[in-house]
Structures are given as C-alpha cells and as structure tokens.
C-alpha cells in the first residue's frame, strides 16, 4: 500500500504518518527526518542543506527528487511524508511511480487553520527546540506551504485522489478519521 500524506506544518502530519506506518507495518518515508539526520551526521548532504533548513526555505527540487527516487526505488509500499512540496516535485513523483508501476493508493490531506498550526508549532518549539521553530521561520515555512505546496494539493484534488481530513481534533480523533477515509476508498486497515 502506498499512501501520501499532505498538510501544513503543525497539522500533525508527521505524527499521523508514523501511526499509519506502525499500524500497517509500512516504512515511514519522511524527507524532513532524513534531512535532519543528514545534518546531524555532518554528511556532505547535511552540510549543504543545514542553512536551508534553518531558514525554513525549501531544498532545491532536483536534489529532493534524486533523494526520493533512490528511496522509492527500494520500497514497494510506504507512507510518504514531506514530499512532494512543489508542483515540479509532484510531477516527478507521479512520473517515477508510473515508470516503476507503483501508483499511489491514497492521498490524505490534514486540514488545519494557520492559527491552530502556529499555536502547535510554538508549543513544539518550547518542548523540542527544533531550530526551525522560531516565529519568523515558522511564518516562512507556512508562507511557502500556501504558495508552493497548495498547488500540489489541488493537483491531487483535480485527479480525484484527495482525501481531506479535519486535522484539528485530538490525535486519536484524527487517526480515526483517517482510518475511515482510507476504508472508504477500499484501503483496508491492515
């Protein structure tokens, strides 16, 4: 099963993606986690992307597309989180999955208002101290989401693939809504 999860920063996308992956024994492919691991390792990739992550900007499309192609080539099933974030990334993803005969089964969208998102991100900043959770950087990440990632949402909506879910409930409520949305399109719970 191949599931893509979309949603703004602070929508709980990472948390829900991890839950879906654990419940269904799928690998959780999270580009943000991969990039932060590269930074922590001090690899060449990490050194290149560190300043980009700190500003809350986006890593260049060609670099992201190469990284994700390598990974998805090796996986038959996955929960994809953090990619695609731009239309060129979405086009590349659809093309590469078509080429290897592994189309997406479902595209989830976690919907939350900006105010809710900002509140959650500020709370997380206090708890985890992520360097990209300062108010200015949060604003930049949300701005880029609206400008560059919402067209990706519209692309999957136009294809009839989008499953919107209200992301403003508790973690358990949102997980339940996701399970219902997936069942409705015939993606069984296990």
141 forms part of the interface with ligand ADP (CB under 6 A) = yes
156 forms part of the interface with ligand ADP (CB under 6 A) = no
User: Does the annotation count 155 as an active-site position?
Assistant: no
What is the distance between the alpha carbons of residues 102 and 105, in angstroms, rounded to a whole number?
Answer: 9
82 forms part of the interface with ligand ADP (CB under 6 A) = yes
Stretch that binds ligand ADP, among 69-77, 78-86, 97-105, 112-120 (CB under 6 A): 78-86
Q: Helical H runs in the chain?
A: 13-23, 31-41, 44-55, 61-74, 87-99, 114-128, 135-144, 150-158, 171-184
List the x/- string, 17-36, binding to ligand ADP by CB under 6 A: --------------xx--x-
**Least Cβ distance, residue 123 to ligand ADP (angstroms):** 13
Considering only 83, 92, 107, 109, the residue that binds ligand ADP (CB under 6 A) is: 83
**Least Cβ distance, residue 183 to ligand ADP (angstroms):** 26
Q: Are 177 and 109 in contact (CB under 8 A)?
A: no
The residue annotated as part of the active site, out of 18, 24, 69, 130, is 130
Place of tokens 């500020």: 122
Q: Are 155 and 90 in contact (CB under 8 A)?
A: yes
- What is 83-100 written as a DSSP string? ---SHHHHHHHHHHHHHT
What is the distance between the alpha carbons of residues 46 and 54, in angstroms, rounded to a whole number?
Answer: 12
Nearer Cβ to ligand ADP, position 9 or 16? 9
The residue annotated as part of the active site, out of 2, 13, 19, 36, is 13
Q: What are phi and psi of 11, to 5 degrees?
A: -80, -10
User: Does the annotation count 24 as an active-site position?
Assistant: no
- Residues with active-site annotation: 13, 85, 124, 130, 141
Q: Which residues bind ligand ADP (CB under 6 A)?
A: 9, 31-32, 35, 52-53, 56-59, 64, 82-83, 85, 89, 132, 141
């Amino acid at each position: 099963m191949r599931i893509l999860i979309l949603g703004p920063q602070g929508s709980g996308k990472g948390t829900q993606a991890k839950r879906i992956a654990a419940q269904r024994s799928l690998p959780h492919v999270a580009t943000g986690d991969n990039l932060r691991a590269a930074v922590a390792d001090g690899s060449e990739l990490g050194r290149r992307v560190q300043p980009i992550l700190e500003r809350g900007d986006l890593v260049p499309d060609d670099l992201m597309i190469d990284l994700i192609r390598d990974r998805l080539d090796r996986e038959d099933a996955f929960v994809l989180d953090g990619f695609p974030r731009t239309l060129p990334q979405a086009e590349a993803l659809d093309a590469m999955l078509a080429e290897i005969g592994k189309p997406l089964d479902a595209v989830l969208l976690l919907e939350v208002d900006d105010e809710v998102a900002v509140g959650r991100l500020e709370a997380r900043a206090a708890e985890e101290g992520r360097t990209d959770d300062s108010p200015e950087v949060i604003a930049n990440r949300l701005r880029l989401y609206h400008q560059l990632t919402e067209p990706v949402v519209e692309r999957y909506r136009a294809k009839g693939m989008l499953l919107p879910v209200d992301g403003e409930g508790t973690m358990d409520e949102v997980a339940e809504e996701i399970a219902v949305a997936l069942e409705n399109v015939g993606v069984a719970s296990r």
